[in-house]
Amino acid sequence: MATYSRDSDVKQATTPSLFAAVIDDARDLAIGHLERMQRETKAELGNLKHAIARTAVAVAIVIVGAVLAGHAIALGLAALGLPLWAGYALAAILAVAGGAVMISRWPKDSKDIDLVPEESIASLKRDVQRVKDAASSSM
């Protein structure tokens, strides 16, 4: 990044050298923002991987538990005098209803797993606005 410490250096600088310094500063700013976006996207990808792994484990546990609970309910209803098929049908209806309730209450928050670097984009927009404001105030 080219900076000038004295006014005399700025007055002696040529227009091409000033443009080169501005372009270098803009390039450094853009590279910084791109690196930040890359880090943020990588972190969100890690969050997404963890969410998928936790969900897969939870689904496996719920499936095993639901199968065992369904058998227990069906056999319990059969022990109460219902035909075996009716016990299993009632257990299946309860399982489907419970699943529908669980799906309707599934968390809808996907802020940290959408792979869009919102913070970096907001920072980039803020810096672009600052550059525009600085450019318009200097004219």
For 68-115, the DSSP string reads HHHHHHHHHHHHTT--HHHHHHHHHHHHHHHHHHHHHTS----GGGS-
89-123 pLDDT, tens digit each = 988 898 889 888 888 887 776 555 566 778 888 88
The H or E element containing residue 37 is: helix 15-79
Q: Which has the higher per-residue pLDDT, 116 or 125?
A: 125
Tell me: pLDDT of 62 over 80. yes
Alpha carbons 113 and 115: distance in angstroms, whole number: 6
Tell me: pLDDT of 66 over 90. no
Q: What pLDDT score does 1 carry?
A: 45
18-35 pLDDT, tens digit each = 778 888 888 888 888 888
Segment among 2-6, 8-12, 34-38 with least mean pLDDT: 2-6
For the segment 121-129, the average pLDDT, to the nearest whole number, is: 83
Q: What pLDDT score does 98 carry?
A: 85
**Band of residue 4 on the pLDDT scale cut at 50, 70, 90:** very low
Q: 87: burial class by Cβ within 10 Å (0-12, 13-18, 19+)? A: buried
Q: What pLDDT score does 49 carry?
A: 86
- The tokens describing 80, both together, are 């109460």
Q: Which has the higher per-residue pLDDT, 135 or 84?
A: 84
For the segment 10-21, the average pLDDT, to the nearest whole number, is: 76
